[in-house]
Structure 1
Amino acid sequence: MASQIPKVETNVHIEASADQFYDVFCNKTHLIANIFPEKIHSVEIHKGEWGTEGSIISWNYLHEGKPCVCTEVVEGIERENNKVNFKVIEGDLLEHYTSFKFILQVTPKEKGSIVHWVVEYEKAKDGIPEPHFMLQIVVEESQKLDAYLTKYYN
């Protein structure tokens, strides 16, 4: 029997369209640093192109006032489902977790959309907390992006 990978997940209700929101996270990820500069200092591509599987992206962000780095590979893109997976391959998160993955899916609703975030992780050792702090960061990112999109594109 296969062991299940632990995960934490949440939904964020947004006013923006699923297509607009997904487009930024999948194809224009670098804009997030402009939209949420108080937490995200930069988002840069190191290999590949924005919006393509196998691309490598690094994030410089603040966590509890401490500068952190996270380098991810875009592991999977399902445009028809507004879904993208990012697997962490380097950075501060891997000091506490042996594996870490973000899964984003945006579903259109009659009014606005639902942003579904999943964080899959494996702890490096016992006593490491579940990564609820990363869910909080992506929820705040989602809310900031939604406010930006509804202000400038509606």
Structure 2
Amino acid sequence: MSLVGKLEADVEIKTPAEKFYNLLKSQNHHIPNASSDKVHSIEVHEGDWETSGSVKLWKYTAEGNLEVFKERVEADKENKTVSFTAVEGHVLDLYKKYKVNFKVTPKTSGEGGLVKITVEYEKKNDSIPDPNKYLQFAIHVVQDIDAHLIKA
């Protein structure tokens, strides 16, 4: 059994891709407003809201458990990708390495687009489950953000 793995999911969005990407890249402080039952707060610990390499602390609930996730963000405007790499938090209790990537692609016609979520991880041992709960969490947060931005 491999300790290194990758999980993927695609989520269709109605929000214009550029608007959705900008929120992921530099407006994370709005995510608790969009998904308050899941994401309780996001605070900048190093850097700022917009700069790649900045570090943020997320407080959230996954499967009924209150957790924290301290991440270093990397963004690529040209490819509309945003990556969050764990530097501290509950995910690192189970995984040596954990990174979640979001790629936002506009539809070829009309509004909206597709958000591809990829979770890359390395388990600490064979008894650790794949991080499906964190993939599901990310899917639900993307859906909440989309619904929030459509109303805005």
TM-score (norm 2): 0.94
Determine which of 98, 101, 110 is the counterpart of 2:99. 101
Counterpart in 2 of 1:81?
A: 79
Aligned-pair CA distance for 1:5: 4.4
Is 1:48 the counterpart of 2:43 in the alignment?
no
Q: Show the 5 A alignment for 1:53-132.
A: 53-74=52-73, 76-109=74-107, 110-111=109-110, 112-132=112-132
Poorly superposed stretches of 4+, deviation over 4 Å: none
Kindly, what percent of the aligned residue pairs are identical? 40
The 1:122/1:16 distance shift into structure 2, 3 A limit, reads: same
Q: Distance in 2 between matches of 1:38 and 1:84?
A: 23
Q: Distance in 2 between matches of 1:135 and 1:51?
A: 24
Q: Count the aligned residue pairs.
A: 149
The residue identity in structure 2 corresponding to 1:103 is N
Q: Distance in 2 between matches of 1:54 and 1:98?
A: 20
Q: Distance in 1 between matches of 2:116 and 2:83?
A: 12
TM-score (norm 1): 0.92
The residue identity in structure 1 corresponding to 2:117 is W
Where does the alignment leave 5 or more consecutive residues of structure 1 unmatched? none
What is the root-mean-square deviation of aligned Cα atoms in Å? Answer: 1.4
Aligned-pair CA distance for 1:64: 2.1
Contact 2:5/2:122 (8 A) holds in 1: yes
Counterpart in 2 of 1:144?
A: 144
Q: Distance in 2 between matches of 1:145 and 1:95?
A: 27
CA displacement 1:85-126 (0-9 Å, x = unmatched): 111010000000000001111000024100000000000111
The residue identity in structure 2 corresponding to 1:41 is H
2:28 aligned counterpart, secondary structure: coil
Once structures 1 and 2 are overlaid, which stretch shifts more, 109-118 or 3-12? 3-12
Where does the alignment leave 5 or more consecutive residues of structure 2 unmatched? none
Q: Distance in 2 between matches of 1:11 and 1:34?
A: 23
Q: Distance in 2 between matches of 1:147 and 1:67?
A: 23
The residue identity in structure 1 corresponding to 2:147 is A
